[in-house]
Amino acid sequence: MLRVAGLSKAFGAVRVLHEVELDAATGMITGIIGPNGAGKSTLLYVIGGLLKPDTGRIILEDIDITAVVPYKRALRGLVRTFQISRELGELTVLENLLFARPNQTGESVWKAFAFPRRVRREERAAADRAHAILERVGLWRLADHPARARPKGRPARRAGCRGEPADARRDFPRHPDAVRRGHHLRHRRARHGYGRQHLRAHICLRRGDQPDLRQLQGDRGRPACCRRLSRRAQVNIHGSVVSAREIVLSTEGVAAGYGGDDIISNISVAVGKGSIFTVIGPNGSGKSTFIKVLAGLLPARTGEIRLGAMSIARLSAPQRVAAGLAYVPQEFNIFTNLTVGENLRVSTEFLERERRASAEQRERVLAIFPEVAGRLGLRAGYLSGGQRQMLAFACAMMAAPTVLLLDEPSAGLSPKFVAEIFDKVKSVNAMGVTVVMIEQNVKEALRIADIVLVLVNGATRLLATPDDILTKHDLHKLYLG
C-alpha cells in the first residue's frame, strides 16, 4: 500500500501542495483529479522522488521512502510514467523494454564474461516477459520497429509523386509536353530550373488531382509547383469562388515522411484569409506531420507550399516565422528554466531587429492572455500544463503572425482549460489572424472551425465545412472507412 501523509511543496512564494493526504490500497486504482494548476503533476513528481517535499512523509509497504532516491524507489516497486514520453528512438520497441529491466547480470562487464549462461538465461526470460507485455498492450506487431515517434503500419511508398497512376510513372523520364516537343528532361531542367520531384508533382496535377487548386496558377508554361501565384486568379474553396488575394496559405501535392516511408501524400488545401482551418483524424493519420511540414520542421518531399503569393517550401522554420507563419508545438513549447517574461522576450530574438516584438505588441499579447501577465516573474517550469500552453500561445503571438499553426492545443488539459484555450483561439482569430489547428477534440474543433480537413492514413478523406460534416457525413465512417 502507498500512503502519503501531510505532504507540502512550494516553489518560492507559490504554494503548490499543502498537507496532502493520500491512501492507495493494494490492487486498487486510485484517481487524482483537479483543474490545471491544482498540483496533480507536482504530487506525482514528489511521490516518484524527482522533487523533494518541504514537509510530510511517503510510505510504501510500511517503509518510509521520503528520502529514497528515484531509482531505488523503482527497485522497491514504485514506478511511474510521464505525460510526455521520452523513449529511446533509435532502439526498437522491444529493446526499450529490455533496457528498462533493472539489475541485469549482463550490465557488469566482468559478470558477462564470468557467467555467460546466466546472462543468456536472464535475457531469454526478459525477452519472453517483454513480448508478453507488448501483446497485452497491443504492440506486439511493432516489437522490432524503431521506437521513434511516428505513425506505423503504413506501406512504404516511393519517394516521388505518391498516388499517381501507373501510366504517369511510365511518363516520368520526360516532361508531359516533351513527348510532342522532343525535349529530354535534362534540357527542360536546365532551361526552367525544375527537377524530378517537381515533374512528378506536375504529373499528378496533369492527371486531374485537385482541379480547383490548379486555377491558382497564372503561368502555365512551367510545372505547377514552380509557378508564382497569380493575384488575379480565382479559386473555388469549398463551394465559394474567391480571389487568390484571399488565399493566405496553400499546399499542392505535398508529401512528407520519415526514413523510407511517406506519412502524408498528395495533400492539397487552400486556407482563406481570416479563417479557422482545422485538421482532424484518427491517431497516426499524419496530422502532426502535416503541420510540421507547414512550419518548416520537416521538409516536403514533393509539392509546393505558399504563404500568400510567396513560395515557402524551401524556407527554414525561422524564415517562415519572419514571413508571418508562427507555430505552437504540442510539447516542449516553452523554456522551463526561464521565467514567463523571459520566454516572451526571447520568442522573437532570432528575428531581425525591426521584426522583433515591440512594447505595443507585448501589451496586446498580455491583454489577450491575462493568465500570463500575472506570472511574468515566475519560472515557467512551475506552471501547470494549461498555463504552459497559454504561455506557448502567447510567445507565438509575440511575432505578430499572419498565420498561426496550433498542434493539438487542448491535449492533456482539464475541461475548464480546454474551453479557455478554444476561446483564446477565437479571440486571436477575431484579430485577423488565420488559424490552422490540429485537434483531437472533434466536438470543440467543429464548433469553432470554418473549414475542416479529415486526414486518414496520410491522405485527404474529406475537405468540407463543419455543417456539411455534421449533416451529410458519418464521422465514424470517415475515420474508419
CA 378 to chain centre: 27
pLDDT single digits (tens) 431-473 = 899 999 998 888 888 889 999 999 988 899 889 888 888 887 7
DSSP 442-469: HHHHHHH-SEEEEEETTEEEEEE-HHHH
For the cut 70, the answer to whether the pLDDT of residue 52 exceeds it is yes
For the cut 60, the answer to whether the pLDDT of residue 226 exceeds it is no
pTM confidence score: 0.60
User: For residue 481, what pLDDT is reported?
Assistant: 54
Break the chain into its structural domains and give their ranges.
Answer: 2-75, 93-142
For the cut 80, the answer to whether the pLDDT of residue 303 exceeds it is yes
User: For residue 380, what pLDDT is reported?
Assistant: 87
User: For residue 476, what pLDDT is reported?
Assistant: 66
Residue 282 DSSP label: S
Residues 6+ apart with CB under 8 A from 257: 150, 263, 264, 289, 301
User: For residue 415, what pLDDT is reported?
Assistant: 74
For residues 259-285, average pLDDT: 89
For the cut 50, the answer to whether the pLDDT of residue 143 exceeds it is yes
User: For residue 151, what pLDDT is reported?
Assistant: 46
DSSP 95-144: HHHHHH--S-GGGSHHHHHH-HHHHHHHHHHHHHHHHHHHHHTT-GGGTT
Coil, helix or strand for 191? helix
User: For residue 304, what pLDDT is reported?
Assistant: 93
pLDDT above 90: percentage of residues in the chain: 26
C-alpha cell at 100: 528498462
pLDDT above 70: percentage of residues in the chain: 76
For residues 388-415, average pLDDT: 87
Q: What is the mean pLDDT of the chain?
A: 76
User: For residue 159, what pLDDT is reported?
Assistant: 28
Q: Which CATH superfamily is domain 2-75 in?
A: P-loop containing nucleotide triphosphate hydrolases (3.40.50.300)
Q: Is the dihedral angle over the CA atoms 462, 417, 318, 147 positive or is it negative?
A: negative
Of the pLDDT bands very low, low, confident and very high (cuts 50, 70, 90), residue 275 is very high
Place of cell 500512503: 3
For residues 53-79, average pLDDT: 90
